[in-house]
Amino acid sequence: MKILALNGSPRKKGNTNRILDEMIKGCENNGHEVEKYFLDKLDINPCSGCEICSKGKDCRFNDDGTEIINQLAEGASLIVASPIYFGQMTAQLKTIIDRFYSIFNNPDKKFSGKVAVIFTHAYPGDDFYKPYIDLVLKQPFEMNTELELVDCLEVGGVKFIGDADKAEDALRKAYEIGLKF
Ligand SMILES: Cc1cc2nc3c(=O)[nH]c(=O)nc-3n(C[C@H](O)[C@H](O)[C@H](O)COP(=O)(O)O)c2cc1C
């Protein structure tokens, strides 16, 4: 299975990346091919709401997001990983998720893979953002895609680069979720 791993953190060596890499290891050890994207380094236009996709046409933008969208429409699976910024996913991740509209809204396209979700944050505990994360799982994923949910992982108490190295329980869980793809 082809899996796209989207990292919404601007910190390449940050906590989200550390947890994400562990999940990727699980996927790869289970025979899957994973491609990781650092969204912050990519040129991805936000959805313009032009609705051209509703007419069965490709998105008007031809940018780095196109490669991700095309692979998802061809059946790739997905890991989305983001730090919590002011209670929500980062703008980098939200920007590509809005571009998922070009699949959801296109009568000739659909998702068909699986999805796992990672959120990291500084606030202590692993359930403080559960209401927000439950909403993300509901929409966009359950309501606007056909992606089958593998699992989601909330990792609290990580703030500075390197903190996730000490989050042994979360690292183990991330690996185990990777094995479930
Ligand atoms: C702009 C900004 C906003 C943040 N907002 C929150 C927040 O609302 N709640 C929280 O617990 N942590 C918040 N954090 C902390 C990050 O979620 C935390 O440092 C996370 O581990 C960063 O992940 P990274 O190392 O992958 O970049 C914020 C950090 C930044 C830079």
Q: Whose CA is nearest to atom 3 of ligand 1?
A: 85
Does ligand 1 lie within 6 Å of residue 16's CB atom? Answer: yes
pLDDT of residue 18: 98
CA–centroid distance, 160 to ligand 1, in Å, is 9
Give the domain extent around 80. Answer: 2-179
The number of folded domains in the chain is: 1
Tens digits of residue pLDDT in 126-164? 999 999 999 999 999 999 999 999 999 999 999 999 999
CA–centroid distance, 48 to ligand 1, in Å, is 27
Query: What string of DSSP letters covers 26-60?
Result: HHHHTT-EEEEEEGGGS--PPP----GGGGTPPPS
Does ligand 1 lie within 6 Å of residue 83's CB atom? Answer: yes
Rounded distance, CA 155 to CA 130, Å?
11
pLDDT of residue 137: 98
pLDDT of residue 103: 98
Size of the chain in residues: 181
Is the pTM of the predicted complex or chain greater than 0.95?
Answer: yes
Question: What CATH number is associated with residue 46?
Answer: 3.40.50.360
Low-confidence ranges of the chain (pLDDT < 50): none
